[in-house]
């Protein structure tokens, strides 16, 4: 039996990494589990081969590291791996399923560079801040409604209502109630300032990214959609389905 690894499927976890290696005949010649450091040492000393992983947290970093060792690296969306899991789902079965999926015609996921992950990070933090602001505004509206104040839709109307409430000389609320609304108002303003900071970060990324500059020529694309597409379209070549990664036939 040929003992040369031509494809290596790796199931990524937080501390342990399950490997499933096959040769040119698609025969399994390696089933091992490593810690992160031992996995990196093993792949660094392995003859160049195709390494395949699910696209998940940490996969982009691992992919860039494996490439430095001369390996060809492919990422597969998890939904394309699931149908090939045999029997009970565990790390070994997942690693085998990854190789099973990879040897078939497949649309692979682009491997992101560091700057693309940083841009994606800015988008995610901003999205979380936006959700926090929406939740806070809904909470404030609900509390105002408890005291008979119905606020029209929109943030400007809400801010104006709170400002008017806090500036009244005669209050139906005690000092404690006014204090709570003052704190909620301050929290909302702080969130707005934080969101503006991340808007500026995206604007800087947009100005420095040639892909975003080209996308800006398309009518109707704003800053946020533009920079998000810059991440999604980081490698257009992956949108073309690969004939096969089957060792010996690719």
25 and 54 inside one domain: yes
16 and 46 inside one domain: yes
Residue 234 binned pLDDT confidence (cut-offs 50, 70, 90) = low
Tokens read off for 148: 């008979």
Q: What does the alpha-carbon distance between residue 56 and residue 111 come to, in Å, rounded to a whole number?
A: 11
Residue 247 binned pLDDT confidence (cut-offs 50, 70, 90) = low
152 and 60 inside one domain: no
Residue 250's pLDDT is what?
45
- DSSP letters, 41-99, are HHHHTSPS-EEEEES-TTHHHHHHHHHHTT-EEEEE-HHHHGGG--SS--HHHHHHHHH
Once rounded to an integer, what is the mean pLDDT over residues 160-185? 86
Residue-wise pLDDT for 95-116, tens only, equals: 999 999 999 888 898 898 888 8
Q: What does the alpha-carbon distance between residue 96 and residue 90 come to, in Å, rounded to a whole number?
A: 10
Residue 18's pLDDT is what?
95
Residue 224 binned pLDDT confidence (cut-offs 50, 70, 90) = confident
Query: Which of 58, 82, 111 is where one domain is finished?
Result: 111
174 and 73 inside one domain: no
Residue-wise pLDDT for 125-143, tens only, equals: 999 999 999 999 999 999 9
129 and 198 inside one domain: yes
Residue-wise pLDDT for 10-35, tens only, equals: 998 888 899 999 999 989 999 999 99
225 and 121 inside one domain: yes
Percent of the chain with pLDDT over 70: 92
Q: How many domains does the chain have?
A: 2
132 and 97 inside one domain: no
Query: Which of 68, 88, 111 is where one domain is finished?
Result: 111
128 and 206 inside one domain: yes
158 and 182 inside one domain: yes
Residue 61 binned pLDDT confidence (cut-offs 50, 70, 90) = very high
Indicate whether 107 belongs to any domain.
Answer: yes
Percent of the chain with pLDDT over 90: 55
Residue-wise pLDDT for 170-182, tens only, equals: 777 787 888 999 9
Q: What does the alpha-carbon distance between residue 180 and residue 60 come to, in Å, rounded to a whole number?
A: 44
Q: What does the alpha-carbon distance between residue 142 and residue 162 come to, in Å, rounded to a whole number?
A: 13
Residue 183's pLDDT is what?
96
Tokens read off for 27: 């025969």
* pLDDT at position 249 over 50: no
Q: What residues make up the domain containing 95?
A: 7-111
Residue with structure tokens 């597969």?
76
């Amino acid at each position: 039996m040929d003992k040369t690894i031509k494809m290596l499927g790796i199931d990524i976890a937080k501390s342990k990494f399950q490997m499933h290696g096959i040769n040119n005949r698609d025969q399994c010649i390696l089933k091992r589990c490593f810690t992160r450091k031992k996995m990196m040492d093993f792949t660094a000393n392995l003859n160049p081969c195709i390494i395949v992983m699910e696209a998940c947290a940490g996969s982009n970093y691992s992919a860039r590291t494996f490439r430095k060792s001369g390996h060809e690296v492919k990422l597969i969306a998890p939904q394309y791996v699931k149908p090939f899991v045999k029997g009970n789902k565990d790390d070994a079965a997942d690693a085998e399923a990854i190789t099973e999926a990879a040897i078939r015609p497949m649309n692979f996921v682009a491997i992101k560079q560091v700057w693309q992950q940083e841009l994606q990070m800015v988008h995610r933090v901003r999205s979380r801040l936006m959700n926090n602001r929406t939740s806070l505004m809904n909470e404030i509206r609900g509390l105002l409604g408890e005291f008979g104040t119905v606020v029209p839709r929109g943030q400007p109307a809400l801010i104006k209502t709170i400002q008017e409430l806090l500036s009244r000389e005669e209050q139906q609320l005690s000092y404690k109630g006014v204090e709570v609304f003052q704190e909620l108002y301050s929290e909302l303003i702080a969130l707005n300032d934080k969101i503006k900071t991340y808007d500026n970060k995206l604007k800087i990324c947009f100005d420095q990214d040639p892909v975003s500059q080209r996308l800006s020529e398309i009518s109707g694309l704003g800053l946020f959609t533009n920079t998000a597409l810059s991440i999604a379209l980081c490698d257009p070549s992956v949108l073309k389905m690969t004939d096969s990664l089957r060792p010996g036939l690719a």
